[in-house]
């Protein structure tokens, strides 16, 4: 089989036969699951181990997973009690056999060349993590409908992007636009959070990695749907975004180079949660708790000489929250 690779060859062709384990947590996605799995099965790169983790889904997903396993010998199904997406992924990680690891969400799908191109970039650039751009929409599209732009691949030290990871930059925090060398993430697990569990995982993965490759090619379709776990109405699990940032904050507390960025990520998460609480008028009994989280770092945000220059608008929000919580609530509700 010929993949999209350079002439240098025989050595790369051999390496292009690496087994990739693709992990798909499955829970209440029966409307989208067939499209998701079909997109993985149809990848131009064929040496795949596809692990579908039925996380105790109460709909038709378990039967759908089994039906797919009967159709394609590369598919393996794990049925387990519902414990959340983090534990589902960790369960699959402990059983994955691939030299490389990829993740796909059950309501999304991959464009046909995704894993061929991610692996090609990983091997040609000799990196530990290969990542791409993605297409986000609530309307499905095919790969040939995407804007045709020159593809660029940038190689850099993983350390160079750690500030963005600490802040919580979305593209660096998610799992599904990346291909990880299994030896680099061996033994690494996601914290048992309902949301944002991928951010600490990526933080520690990038800390372990040496070099990474970043492509601007859109290889993954991220379905932006209002009823998904990350986009649904504010709920108790939303507080996990704070816990995820707290993990990074504690890990970097003795590192003056990254600690300011970890603080910024922590503040961003707390402000976002606070805004969600106020807008939905839910969990307001925890207002003082989240406010206290933020005010612990008011000095770092408000002092003139800081490693990170906060926007005046953010400083104003901090001052109002500090001096007049009631005014902050009224302003947020407008």
One domain for residues 252 and 137: no
Instruction: Note whether residue 3 is domain-resident.
Output: no
In a domain, residue 80? The reply is yes
- Are 132 and 247 within one domain? no
Q: With pLDDT > 70 as the criterion, what percentage of the chain qualifies?
A: 93
pLDDT, residue 305, reads: 73
Say if residue 88 is in the same domain as residue 126.
yes
Distance in angstroms (rounded) separating the CA atoms of residues 185 and 166: 18
Question: What pLDDT, in 10s, does the model give residues 53-80?
Answer: 999 999 999 999 999 999 999 999 999 9
48 has a pLDDT exceeding 90: yes
**Nearest-10 crossing angle of helices 312-323, 287-295:** 130
> 27 with 115, same domain?
yes
Final residue belonging to a domain, choices 197, 223, 249: 223
Q: Taking 80 as the threshold, does the pLDDT of residue 122 lie above it?
A: yes
Q: What are phi and psi of 18, to 5 degrees?
A: -65, 140
Alpha helices (H) along the chain:
10-15, 30-41, 61-71, 85-93, 114-125, 162-167, 170-173, 182-185, 198-208, 240-251, 259-280, 287-295, 298-302, 312-323, 325-333
How many other C-beta atoms can be found within 10 angstroms of the C-beta atom of residue 165?
A: 25
Other Cβ atoms within 10 Å of 90 Cβ, number: 21
pLDDT for 170: 93
Q: Is 5 inside any structural domain? A: no
Indicate if 218 and 329 belong to the same structural domain. Answer: no
Q: Supply the range of the domain harboring residue 165.
A: 10-223
Q: Is residue 326 part of a domain?
A: yes
267 and 123 within one domain: no
| Amino acid 309: pLDDT | 82
Specify whether 67 is located in the same domain as 196.
yes
What would the pLDDT profile of 244-264 be if each residue is shown by its tens digit?
Answer: 999 999 999 999 999 999 999
Query: Are 48 and 20 within 8 A, CB to CB?
Result: yes
Q: Are both 81 and 137 inside the same structural domain? A: yes
**pLDDT tens, 66-121?**
999 999 999 999 999 999 999 999 999 999 999 999 999 999 999 999 999 999 99
Do 37 and 176 share a structural domain?
Answer: yes
> For residues 40 and 50, is the Cβ–Cβ distance under 8 A?
yes
Q: Are 96 and 21 in contact (CB under 8 A)?
A: yes
What torsion, rounded to 10 degrees, do the Cα atoms 178, 181, 186, 189 define?
Answer: 0
The answer to whether residue 3 scores a pLDDT higher than 50 is no
Round the average pLDDT of the chain to a whole number and report it.
Answer: 91
The pLDDT of residue 231: 44
- Residues 153 and 289 both lie in one domain: no
Instruction: Categorize the per-residue pLDDT at 145 as very low, low, confident or very high, splitting at 50, 70 and 90.
Output: confident
Tell me how many domains the chain contains.
2
Q: What is the pLDDT of residue 13?
A: 55
pLDDT per residue as tens digits for the range 228-248: 444 446 777 889 999 999 999
Residue 172: predicted pLDDT: 96
1, part of any domain: no
> How far apart are alpha carbons 95 and 92 in whole angstroms?
5
| Rounded Cα gap, residues 246 and 31, in angstroms | 35
The answer to whether residue 313 is domain-embedded is yes
User: pLDDT band at residue 165, thresholds of 50, 70 and 90?
Assistant: very high
pLDDT value at residue 229: 46
Task: Let me know whether 184 and 305 are in one domain.
Answer: no
Tell how strand 109-110 and strand 129-137 pair up. Answer: unpaired
231 domain-assigned: no
The domain that holds 145 is classified in CATH as 3.90.550.10
pTM, two decimals, is 0.91
Instruction: State residue 11's pLDDT score.
Output: 58
The DSSP line for 38-61 is HHHHT-S---EEEEEEEES-SSSH
Residue 4 has pLDDT above 70, yes or no: no
Arithmetic mean of pLDDT, 278-295: 94
Q: Which residue has the higher pLDDT, 137 or 13?
A: 137
Q: Is 241 in the same domain as 194?
A: no
| Rounded mean pLDDT, 142-152 | 83
Average pLDDT, integer, range 198-203? 97
């Amino acid at each position: 089989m010929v993949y999209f690779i350079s002439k240098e060859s025989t050595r790369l062709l051999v390496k292009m036969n690496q087994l990739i384990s693709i992990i798909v947590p499955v829970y209440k996605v029966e409307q989208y699951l067939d499209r998701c799995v079909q997109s993985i099965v149809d990848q131009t790169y064929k040496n795949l181990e596809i692990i579908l983790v039925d996380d105790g889904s109460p709909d038709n997903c378990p039967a759908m997973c089994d039906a797919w396993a009967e159709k394609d010998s590369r598919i393996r199904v794990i049925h387990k009690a519902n414990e959340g997406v983090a534990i589902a992924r960790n369960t699959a990680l402990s059983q994955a056999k691939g030299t490389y690891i990829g993740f796909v969400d059950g309501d999304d799908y991959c464009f046909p060349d995704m894993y061929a191109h991610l692996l090609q970039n990983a091997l040609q650039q000799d990196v530990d993590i290969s990542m791409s751009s993605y297409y986000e929409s609530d309307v499905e599209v095919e790969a040939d409908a995407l804007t045709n732009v020159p593809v660029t691949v940038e190689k850099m030290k993983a350390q160079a992007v750690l500030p963005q990871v600490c802040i919580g930059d979305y593209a660096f925090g998610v799992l599904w636009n990346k291909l990880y060398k299994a030896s680099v993430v061996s033994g690494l697990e996601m914290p048992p959070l309902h949301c944002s569990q991928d951010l600490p995982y990526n933080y520690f993965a990038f800390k372990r990695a040496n070099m990474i490759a970043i492509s601007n090619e859109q290889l993954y379709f991220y379905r932006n749907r209002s009823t998904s776990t990350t986009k649904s109405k504010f709920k108790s699990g939303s507080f996990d975004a704070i816990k995820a940032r707290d993990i990074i904050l504690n890990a970097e507390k003795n590192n003056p180079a990254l600690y300011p960025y970890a603080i910024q990520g922590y503040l961003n998460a707390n402000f976002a949660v606070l805004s969600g609480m106020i807008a939905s008028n839910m969990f307001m009994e925890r207002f003082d708790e989240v406010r206290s989280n933020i005010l612990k770092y008011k000095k770092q945000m408000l002092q003139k000489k800081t490693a990170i220059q906060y926007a005046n608008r953010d400083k104003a929000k901090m001052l109002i929250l500090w001096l007049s919580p009631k005014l902050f609530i009224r302003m947020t509700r407008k």
